[in-house]
A and B are shown apart, each in its own frame.
Chain A
């Protein structure tokens, strides 16, 4: 069976000043996602995670454009579709959850109206079955006494509840794919855990695939089957979460894992030195080499190719290829 989503060699560029300056926000990204699977997109701010997601739903800002690659979703190529055609896919097939629960709901309409809308338009539900559907969705995201709550307005709810309502809205159209762009960043920790459980339950019940954008590796470990580590518009390492956490190949993945706080540790928290590179002015060779402890002459000259380390496990690093075995811990230790 073909995967639900196959992104291949996606290139999305931002151009400004009439094309005189081009920023390669997404530069050759490929990954696949099967139904019911969850992939985590991780990386620092500005590495192209969000641009990748917006490319998939076709809602890039005016300055940005998909210049290469394919996005195959359920057998169709989304990259070549017009806005009108995409509109039919969005909502019905793909839904999104954004960061800020406070701004994600229209303050003027009741919860019922907002949850019902996608079901009304995309599933053609009416009357009693629509009400039942809304109640069911709110119950699925664990809103207590949904029949009462759905008559309320966004300002009557807490941030955690609003974000769960956003989850209900996302599910209302019965999508096959949910893109969650840092959905828990603005929630406090206990609510975060609760929210992640809700998403997991929904996924188990409906078999929806999830793209999880985050910079919290703890969430990736908990939620995702596989992960793609992005750096400067590229996926530098991709593989099963278990593998990457146990034996990361790319020094950037190692550094990210190394900068996770550990409970009970007295050591100073590790921080990756330097800044992410300016995407309009990338360094020669491997984009990570200025911040990499193990950079060698080759890293300065040529960008590393993708190397395979087993099923679905790839990394772009000259040194990883050279080591080729587990236990390489140079970057962090």
Chain B
């Protein structure tokens, strides 16, 4: 009995060895999150090449088209405007494609702004401690106490609507969670012995922050970023829906929803369903990607 189990183990190990080597080569590819990428890559390409793909100018009415034309498969639809037209006889498909550009640009850059501000503050608070920590964290607390969207609306009405203003506003609203999480991470990191040894070796604070602290919090910052993108996209859509976001006639999914809302009652569903679906899919995909990243970068699961 003993010998057989031993033999079995030997055989299992022998069989596993080449398979593992192979798995390592393919590992990166096989572990990729298929569903989120299947959603995000087409949207990203769409946003990137919007001016090539889009059949019409999204801000001008299609010459010869009526308003509220239905999608092509419905009675009265036309292959000239695949997803129908809106209340100004503009092409819904083109607006959708350019809207993806707005959503993704605002989502990504807004997250970068939020992440940049939050990470910087978090590291300063966590590493320097003392009154710097107190000031930064109390400001963070106060910031968190404000309802994010209301605060964003307030700021948007103050500085006036434009896409880049929205980016800065959303960055300024959503940096707080980074500051909190990163500060916590830094608190434990700065007690680690390699940081102590760097201090003993005569490294300056700036050097320790840039070399030992920042690279070691990048994992958390990235996971947080992937989860924030969805929140920022929704916030941008909400601002645009409320009319304080991306100004018309520039197409944004949020303002398209808002424009089509009144026509929902009379059955012109294509005006709202497509941009709504776009928001849903992109946000869902970023959240799934974030989950995958979190598992992937979790040191406990990473087996380092």
Is B73 engaged at the interface, CB distance under 8 Å to the other chain?
no
> What residue in chain A is nearest B197 (Cβ atoms)?
A104
Is B66 engaged at the interface, CB distance under 8 Å to the other chain?
no
Q: Answer whether A87 and B193 are a contact pair too, CB < 8 Å, given A107-B304, A155-B304.
A: no
Is B15 engaged at the interface, CB distance under 8 Å to the other chain?
no
> What residue in chain A is nearest B195 (Cβ atoms)?
A106
Query: A220 vs B192: C-alpha distance in the bound complex, in angstroms?
Result: 27
Residues of A within 8 A of B199 (CB): 59, 90
Residues of A within 8 A of B203 (CB): 87, 91, 121
> What residue in chain A is nearest B212 (Cβ atoms)?
A106
A62 and B200 contact, CB distance less than 8 A: no
> What residue in chain A is nearest B304 (Cβ atoms)?
A155
B193 and A92 contact, CB distance less than 8 A: no
A88 and B202 contact, CB distance less than 8 A: yes
A103 and B201 contact, CB distance less than 8 A: no
**How many Å from the CB of B194 to the closest CB on chain A?**
5
Task: Tell me the residues in window 159-216 of chain A with beta carbons closer than 8 Å to chain B beta carbons.
Answer: 166, 169, 173
Residues of B within 8 A of A94 (CB): 200
Is A287 engaged at the interface, CB distance under 8 Å to the other chain?
no
Residues of A within 8 A of B193 (CB): 98-100, 103-104
Number of cross-chain contacts by CB at 8 Å: 60
B194 and A90 contact, CB distance less than 8 A: no
Q: Answer whether A103 and B192 are a contact pair too, CB < 8 Å, given A59-B199, A117-B201, A121-B202.
A: yes
B202 and A107 contact, CB distance less than 8 A: no
Q: Answer whether A108 and B201 are a contact pair too, CB < 8 Å, given A103-B192, A103-B194.
A: no
Q: Answer whether A91 and B129 are a contact pair too, CB < 8 Å, given A98-B196, A100-B193, A107-B216.
A: no
B201 and A91 contact, CB distance less than 8 A: yes
Is B130 engaged at the interface, CB distance under 8 Å to the other chain?
yes
A173 and B194 contact, CB distance less than 8 A: no
Query: A201 vs B199: C-alpha distance in the bound complex, in angstroms?
Result: 26
Residues of A within 8 A of B64 (CB): none
Residues of A within 8 A of B202 (CB): 87-92, 121-122, 173
Size range of the interface on A?
A: 20 to 34
Residues of A within 8 A of B129 (CB): 62
**How many Å from the CB of A159 to the closest CB on chain B?**
13
Is B215 engaged at the interface, CB distance under 8 Å to the other chain?
yes
A96 and B197 contact, CB distance less than 8 A: yes
Task: Tell me the residues in window 96-132 of chain B with beta carbons closer than 8 Å to chain A beta carbons.
Answer: 129-130
**How many Å from the CB of B110 to the closest CB on chain A?**
28
Task: Tell me the residues in window 121-161 of chain B with beta carbons closer than 8 Å to chain A beta carbons.
Answer: 129-130
B201 and A57 contact, CB distance less than 8 A: no
Residues of A within 8 A of B200 (CB): 57, 59, 90-91, 94-96
Query: A16 vs B115: C-alpha distance in the bound complex, in angstroms?
Result: 36
**How many Å from the CB of B53 to the closest CB on chain A?**
41
Interface size on B, residues (CB 8 A): 19
Query: A322 vs B182: C-alpha distance in the bound complex, in angstroms?
Result: 60
Is A78 engaged at the interface, CB distance under 8 Å to the other chain?
no
Query: A100 vs B194: C-alpha distance in the bound complex, in angstroms?
Result: 10
Residues of A within 8 A of B197 (CB): 96, 98, 104, 166, 169
Query: A98 vs B203: C-alpha distance in the bound complex, in angstroms?
Result: 17
Is A233 engaged at the interface, CB distance under 8 Å to the other chain?
no
**How many Å from the CB of A74 to the closest CB on chain B?**
15
**How many Å from the CB of B263 to the closest CB on chain A?**
55
Is B204 engaged at the interface, CB distance under 8 Å to the other chain?
yes
Task: Tell me the residues in window 148-194 of chain B with beta carbons closer than 8 Å to chain A beta carbons.
Answer: 192-194
Q: Which of B201, B204, B212, B304 has the most CB of A within 10 A?
A: B201
B201 and A90 contact, CB distance less than 8 A: yes
**How many Å from the CB of A240 to the closest CB on chain B?**
29
Residues of B within 8 A of A117 (CB): 201
Is A105 engaged at the interface, CB distance under 8 Å to the other chain?
yes
Residues of B within 8 A of A104 (CB): 193-194, 197
Interface mask (A101-123 → B, CB under 8 Å = 1, otherwise 0): 00111111000000001100110
Residues of B within 8 A of A166 (CB): 197
Query: A173 vs B196: C-alpha distance in the bound complex, in angstroms?
Result: 16
**How many Å from the CB of B196 to the closest CB on chain A?**
6
Residues of B within 8 A of A98 (CB): 193, 196-197
Residues of B within 8 A of A105 (CB): 194
B201 and A118 contact, CB distance less than 8 A: yes
Query: A173 vs B200: C-alpha distance in the bound complex, in angstroms?
Result: 11
> What residue in chain A is nearest B129 (Cβ atoms)?
A62
B201 and A95 contact, CB distance less than 8 A: yes
> What residue in chain A is nearest B207 (Cβ atoms)?
A121
Residues of B within 8 A of A103 (CB): 192-194
Q: Answer whether A173 and B201 are a contact pair too, CB < 8 Å, given A105-B194, A107-B304.
A: yes
> What residue in chain B is nearest A114 (Cβ atoms)?
B194
Query: A122 vs B200: C-alpha distance in the bound complex, in angstroms?
Result: 13
Which of A89, A90, A100, A108 has a CB less than 8 Å from the CB of B215? A108
> What residue in chain B is nearest A166 (Cβ atoms)?
B197
Residues of A within 8 A of B194 (CB): 103-106
Known: A59-B200, A106-B212. 8 other contacts (CB 8 A): A57-B200, A59-B199, A87-B202, A98-B197, A103-B192, A104-B193, A106-B194, A121-B203
Sample (20) of A-B pairs whose CB atoms are under 8 Å apart: A59-B196, A59-B200, A87-B203, A89-B202, A90-B199, A90-B201, A90-B202, A95-B201, A96-B200, A98-B197, A99-B193, A103-B193, A103-B194, A104-B197, A106-B194, A106-B211, A106-B216, A121-B202, A122-B201, A122-B202
Interface residues of A (CB under 8 A from B): 57, 59, 62, 87-92, 94-96, 98-100, 103-108, 117-118, 121-122, 155, 166, 169, 173
Interface residues of B (CB under 8 A from A): 129-130, 192-194, 196-204, 211-212, 215-216, 304
* 8 nearest A-B residue pairs (beta carbon): A91-B202, A91-B201, A90-B202, A103-B193, A104-B193, A96-B200, A87-B202, A98-B193
